[in-house]
Amino acid sequence: MRGFVYILYSQKLNKYYIGSTTDIERRVEEHNRGKEKFTSTGLPWKLVYNEEYDNLTLARQRERFIKKMKSRIFIENMIKHAG
């Protein structure tokens, strides 16, 4: 099953959220319904970036790598240079 890393942006909070999933559309919808405590404070969230992997394990590894960078500049450069 494919896996995805995704980055959401909240204009309200001026923050990014990084996650991984097997179903991006469902996951973004869940975030925008306020399912998660953190993301419920920043509604609405906009999908600004995603990467596809062969499986969820690889997507989660990439998610952890991006989070370890702890850099807004790194994230914004990823988005800027995407496709």
pTM of the model: 0.94
Given its phi and psi angles, is residue 45 left (phi above 0), alpha (psi -120 to 50 degrees) or beta? beta
37-66 tens-digit pLDDT: 889 999 999 999 999 999 999 999 999 999
- Kind plus residue range of the DSSP H or E element containing 52: strand 45-53
* In the predicted structure, residue 35 carries a pLDDT above the cut 90: no
* In the predicted structure, residue 83 carries a pLDDT above the cut 70: no
CA quadruple 12, 36, 38, 18: dihedral positive or negative? Answer: negative
11-29 tens-digit pLDDT: 999 999 999 999 999 999 9
Which residue ranges form the domains of the chain, and what is each CATH number? 3-80 (3.40.1440.10)
What is the chain's mean pLDDT, rounded? 96
Token pair 């952890």 in the structure block, residue = 64
Position 36 scores a pLDDT of 84
Token output for 65: 């790598």
Q: Which residues does residue 47 pair with via DSSP β-bridges, in sequence order?
A: 8
